[in-house]
Structure 1
Amino acid sequence: MLDIGYALSTRFPDPPQTDYRHADVHALRHDLFCGDVYLADTKADRELSTAWGWVPVLDFAWALCDIVEHVDRDPAGSRAARPQRAELDFTESTDRLLFERRFGWVDIEAEWLPADEPPLSFSHTELRREARDFLHDLLADLTDLHEDLADNPAVWSLQARFPRMPSA
């Protein structure tokens, strides 16, 4: 089972004068809500996590949803044998998460881990559902912290673009 989570950093707080209602996409994706993120396979008791404190958490959630859609572009869908690849790069680092979908499964590797570390592997359907749940849960947490964020048009667009998926 996949678990995606985060922790906001106390070392890199958002500027106190931030106007969350009018923050542009660049600020939302790169300048605000820094912390750490993880993807965990709870059944295998393994995880890929950052420990840098500066990862833009909302950008991670947004990019993860984009990647899940990107690796689903083959018209054969879960029957596609040809690998479909994507990567998530961390802006302030050369480290990346690498995604490879073959058939209905997505392998996820972290470049900062030893090369002999096996990738995490999840069904594409589960990854899509959990990525979108993570995005919506994160936005709910962030709007609890900053009420004005709920009135940001970029957040509305993001929520509409990646709606929650029905539970399996």
Structure 2
Amino acid sequence: MELDPDTDLSFTRTLAAPRALVWECWTDPRHIPHFFIPKPHKVTAVEIDLRIGGRFDTRFEVEGNSIANRGVYLEIVPQEKLVFTDAFSEGWKPAPEPFMTAILLLADAPEGGTLYTAIARHRNPDSRKTHENMGFYEGWGTVASQLEAYAQGLR
């Protein structure tokens, strides 16, 4: 996949957890609250309809504020690729102010781990820069660490 440095943010890390388990964590709503946003913030609700056009809706509590995030899945390749966006909600209803499309790529890594790549695609360079300034690398890195620790506890 070719990335556009003007609009895309990306990082890759090897997680010490098997790919099938990392996939399950990302696609089963029971698991999402355990890793999806950096602590001490928390996920208070998750709805997943794992199909193209199906909903991926979450609600967060951040510093006492409740934040709803509605989205849909655009591409699903079991245990390899998950693409979702907040540009639409279920039924292909356009969002008034979309933020990004997320792409997760999973591959086998040595010793039973997972090569985990997270990509955030933005509609323009300003949105990308805003996300980077919000702490993309730190935030998504923290989520990857939380995911790894949670998945290890499920083994």
TM-score, structure 1 normalization: 0.29
More helix by share: 1
Higher relative contact order (CA 8 A, sep 6+): 2
